[in-house]
Amino acid sequence: MSDSTLLDLVLSRRSAAALVEPGPTREELDRILLAAGAVPDHGLLRPFRLVVAEGEGRARFGDALAATAAEHRPSMPAVGLEKVRAKALRSPTLVVLIASPKPGKIEVWEQNATAACAGYAIVLAAHALGVGAVWKSVPFTKGKALTETLGLADGEEMLGWIHLGRAAREEELPPRKPLALADVASVLDAGGRRPYAVGAPASPDDATSA
């Protein structure tokens, strides 16, 4: 794959609006999950865990989501809990992403960043294989039911889950509005910090030496 093709792949990734059967094949799923091992990882700690749910496993995860919602919001009506439970059934396959920081000198925030990168690697790998993916989450990531269902240890936290399947419609998703680099990027040089200008040299020295 050429560099331009790889970049086009990254830039064209979109969250799938709706996913249906079939889910990824076992070979596809293996490759998708292996992509998590390629993310930046200080100390190679692999500070994350992945729990795959298919078939009835999705219902069990949905039950845990609903029970955790009830634990955090006891006044939530039954219809609301059912909507939470149904979140786990919106694709043939889902991968629960768990931050699992390891004790030692590497800061927990850095390990959690690696875990989040693992989630992005999974959705990007799915896109590369033609498998639809969308990363979902809920406000409540800790609770008795989720701890028991996912085997959460002290210090671990669910970062959401990634739905995998086939796009329900063949239509192309509309492109995203291009990132306005001037809104999110700046340049730091000997003179201080200044706005990032597209196409301009990063440093005045670069302009004089060009």
Q: Which residue has the higher pLDDT, 15 or 88?
A: 88
Give the pLDDT score at 18. 81
Give the pLDDT score at 20. 83
Residue 210: pLDDT band (50, 70, 90) is very low
Residue 205: pLDDT band (50, 70, 90) is low
- Residues 63-93 have pLDDT tens digits of 999 999 999 999 999 999 999 999 999 999 9
| Cα–Cα distance measured from residue 93 to residue 53, given in angstroms and rounded to the nearest whole number | 6
Handedness of CA 178, 12, 3, 187 (dihedral sign): positive
Q: Which residue has the higher pLDDT, 8 or 137?
A: 137
Indicate where the chain has its CATH 3.40.109.10 domain(s).
8-167
| Cα–Cα distance measured from residue 13 to residue 117, given in angstroms and rounded to the nearest whole number | 15
Q: Which residue has the higher pLDDT, 178 or 66?
A: 66
| Cα–Cα distance measured from residue 87 to residue 95, given in angstroms and rounded to the nearest whole number | 13
Give the pLDDT score at 177. 83
Question: Which residues does residue 132 pair with via DSSP β-bridges, in sequence order?
Answer: 165
Full DSSP string of 84-134 = HHHGGGSSSEEEEEEE-PPSSSS-HHHHHHHHHHHHHHHHHHHHHTT-EEE
What single letter denotes the amino acid at residue 140? F
Cβ–Cβ < 8 Å for 122, 34:
no
Question: Which residues does residue 192 pair with via DSSP β-bridges, in sequence order?
Answer: 189
* Averaged confidence pLDDT in the chain: 90
Give the pLDDT score at 172. 66
| CATH for the stretch 8-167 | 3.40.109.10
Residue 102 in this model has a pLDDT that exceeds 80:
yes
Q: What is the pTM of this model?
A: 0.87
